Structure 1
Amino acid sequence: MNDHYLKKLDRVTAILTQLQSKPIVRAQDLAEKFDVSIRTIYRDVKTLENAGIPIIGEAGSGYSLMDGYKLPPVMFTKEEVLSFITAEKLMQRFSHESLGSHYKTAMEKVRSVLKYSDRNLLANIEKQIDIFDNYPKTEDKIKNIIPTILESIAEKVQICIDYKTVNEEISTRTVEVVGVFFEFNYWYIIAYCTLRNDFRQFRIDRILKLSKMQTPFLQEYGQINDYRKNPNGNKTIVKLLVDKKIMRHLGNSKVYYGLTEEKEAENGFELTFETEWIDEGFPRWLITFSDYAEIIEPESLKTTMRELVQKVSKNF
């Protein structure tokens, strides 16, 4: 069998896997994934149909397997088996508690269908892989909170939450969740808040109570990244001129504090931020490298920094 037919066999098998794992698979997406023409994908799908695989759909719309059709368990390669154990280690360290238990049972099912040799491979290698992090784990206040939130997104229904702010104030909100994301060791949701009539970001460990409602979404939403890129109207634009020698020490912290643009200048880097923490969080972060930074705007931040420096100097 020549190389052409081996590649075709691998691609057809991979297309079958895609059909098993997704409700609808578009020919255009498959063509981009395997770097072939759409006509080649049409021929591959025809090959599967000729082999007796009941595929529903047609060129130009999308393909799916006939409902109820079952295939034997997928066989995993050795590289895929090793990737499972690496992913499991990452999940143990960084996943939310409400997700970790479900991932553990899912991995047990995966292990159960592995070949005996592959199960031995996992047993021998899992103690040789570890993930080190120094962040404390956040505790769940609500069981299965993230799966419940994800269900509300899939079903497009509102949820009602009791939320505690950083100032210890508690409010009840009805929200329509756009998406969930993990950043700087915390899980967040981005949601449309019906109380504020605007999009808001909520830290999941500050949700004290959650209930899924029957009320459907008021509007359709796009992808979560569409909302993370757009300011919600409560942010202040800050511009700093930062010495080049300190830049490498800022790392990801500058992203955390709202960096939107980084432009090299003759005497440093001009950094632009959009921050919600102009009164407390941002000034206290800025003071850690303030001897290497000049505030371009706003003027109010200069006043805040002078007052903060005066407070600090009194303690020393």
Structure 2
Amino acid sequence: MEITKRFHRIIAIYFQLQARSVLKAQDLADRFDVSLRTIYRDMRSLEQAGIPIYGEAGTGYSLSEGYRLPPTSFTQEEIISLVASEKLMKKFVDPHMFRHFSTAIGKIRSYLRYSDKLNMMLLEENTWMSSPGLTFNERVPDALSVLFESISMRKTIVMEYRAIYRDQANTRKVEPVGIYHEGNFWYFVAYCQLRKAYRQFRIDRIHKVSRTDETFTREHKPLSYYLDKKESQPVWSIRLRVELEYAKYLQWDRSYYGFESEQIENESVIMTFQSSNHEQEFARWYLRFADHAEILAPESLKTCVRGIVKNIKI
């Protein structure tokens, strides 16, 4: 059994080497939940099998340039993951990027056995995902692709961007740092050359975009650094008392509004949230189920909700 596990691990390591330019031993050890000594031993086994692996202390392992062996078969679980990933890509990326992904999947299909191709087709015919709505501006079908290219090539982009508080789009030249998906939308963090500061942008608000040949003017930190700063903004602790029978209906989207914990008390559920925009975003979400929930804290949220209700035009 141990020999079989090691064989599958070594094969998996090989495909990881094919997929990445550099792999660190510690990352492999964490991925496969084994010791560094085990990874070193697996690497020696690959080298003894004739795989040209290049290793450098402090950098990692990589395959010699140009060396590739196509996979000859996939497990049933891997085929399932391919179908799922294609459906997810169609739902969450722009049409331009999905076309490239479909081409890549097509190349993978060419290595499948006939029976595996039939299985894949059967899964595709019986898997469906709803449309996410207006995730991208239909007039800019390649926005996500341009941003990924910009980040990988370290080239600035010029875009026409309409912020939510503006009636018209204005032109910005920015240096994209990273892209992330939150709630139902794609966002990216970029250094804005106009504002001389880092800003967050929502991709569906881009009206036009193109990559330039201009290299970034500065070195940027990883995306996680800017997201951590975003998360460090002041937040408000919110407590709601929700009717027990109704609480189940909030499970689908409460995570988008800072849900933290819940506790059942008699015929109700006490829910705790952490929100950085409780007076607008959270308050308006709360109004969707206000007849089934009581605001316990803070008082400022109660005041805001009362104000919104007072201004309702019926």
**Which TM-score tier does this pair reach, normalised by the shorter chain?**
0.7 to 0.9
Letter paired with 2:162: K
Q: Distance in 2 between matches of 1:244 and 1:306?
A: 18
In 2: Cα distance, 1:127 partner to 1:216 partner: 44
Residue 5 in 1 paired to residue 3 in 2? yes
1:157–1:217 CA contact under 8 A, matched in 2: no
Q: CA deviation at 1:138?
A: 4.1
**Residue 157 of structure 2 aligns with which residue?**
159
**How many residue pairs get matched?**
306
Q: CA deviation at 1:197?
A: 4.0
Cross-structure match for 1:269: 271
Partner-residue secondary structure (3-state), 1:288: coil
For residues 134 and 113 of structure 1, the distance between their equivalents in structure 2, rounded to whole angstroms, comes to: 32
Distance 1:247 1:169, change over 3 A: farther
Instruction: Name the aligned partner's letter for residue 294 of structure 1.
Output: I
CA shift at 1:22, angstroms? 0.7
Superposition deviation, residue 188 in structure 1: 1.8
Name 2:227's counterpart in structure 1: 228
C-alpha spacing 1:134/1:211, structure 2 compared with 1 (3 Å): closer
Aligned to 1:294: 295
Distance 1:261 1:200, change over 3 A: farther
How far apart are 1:20 and its partner, in Å? 0.9
Query: Paired residue for 1:113?
Result: 111
Q: Could you tell me how far 1:152 is from its partner in structure 2?
A: 1.2
Mapped to 2, the partners of 1:283 and 1:26 lie a distance apart of: 46
| Shift in Å, 1:148 | 1.4
Residue 210 of structure 2: aligned partner: 211
Question: In structure 2, what is the equivalent of residue 103 of structure 1?
Answer: 101
- Within-5 A mapping of 1:128-277: 128-132=126-130, 135=133, 138-167=136-165, 168-213=167-212, 214-224=214-224, 226-231=225-230, 237-245=235-243, 247-257=247-257, 259=258, 261-262=260-261, 268-275=270-277
With over 3 angstroms needed to count, the CA separation of the structure-2 counterparts of 1:74 and 1:29, relative to structure 1, is: farther
Residue 199 of structure 1 contacts residue 232 of structure 1 at CA under 8 Å; is this kept in 2? no
Structure 1 residue 115: Cα displacement? 1.3
Hey, what's the Cα distance between the residues in 2 that align with 1:78 and 1:268?
43
| Deviation per residue, 1:115-166 (Å, 9 max, x gap) | 1221222233322222245746644322422121011111223222211122
Gaps of 5+ in 2: none
**Aligned partners of 1:184 and 1:302: how far apart in 2?**
25
| Helix, strand or coil at the partner of 2:150 | helix
Question: Cα RMSD over matched residues?
Answer: 3.0
Q: What is the CA distance between 1:273 and its match in structure 2?
A: 0.8
Answer yes or no: is 1:45 the counterpart of 2:52: no
Report deviation, 1:26: 1.2
Q: Which amino acid aligns with 2:188?
A: I
* Distance 1:228-1:260 versus aligned 2 partners, 3 A rule: farther
Bigger Cα displacement from structure 2, 263-272 vs 190-199:
263-272
**TM-score normalised by the chain length of structure 2:** 0.83
Q: Secondary structure at the match of 1:220?
A: coil
AA paired with 1:4? E
**What's 2:89 paired with?**
91
Q: Relative to structure 2, which stretch is displaced further, 243-252 or 113-122?
A: 243-252
Amino acid of the structure 2 residue aligned with 1:253: D
State whether structure 2 residue 305 is matched by structure 1 residue 305: yes
1:49–1:55 contact (8 Å) kept in structure 2:
yes
Structure 1 distance, partners of 2:262, 2:283, is 21
Which structure 1 residue ranges, 5 or more long, are not aligned? none
Aligned-pair identity in percent equals 36
Q: Give the structure-1-normalised TM-score.
A: 0.83
Contact kept, 8 Å, 1:142 with 1:209, in 2: the verdict is yes
Deviation for aligned residue 1:33: 1.8
1:100 Cα deviation after fit: 1.4
Once residues 194 and 241 of structure 1 are traced to their aligned partners in structure 2, the CA distance between those partners, rounded to angstroms, is: 41
With over 3 angstroms needed to count, the CA separation of the structure-2 counterparts of 1:155 and 1:194, relative to structure 1, is same
Q: 1:86 to 1:288 in 2, by over 3 A?
A: closer
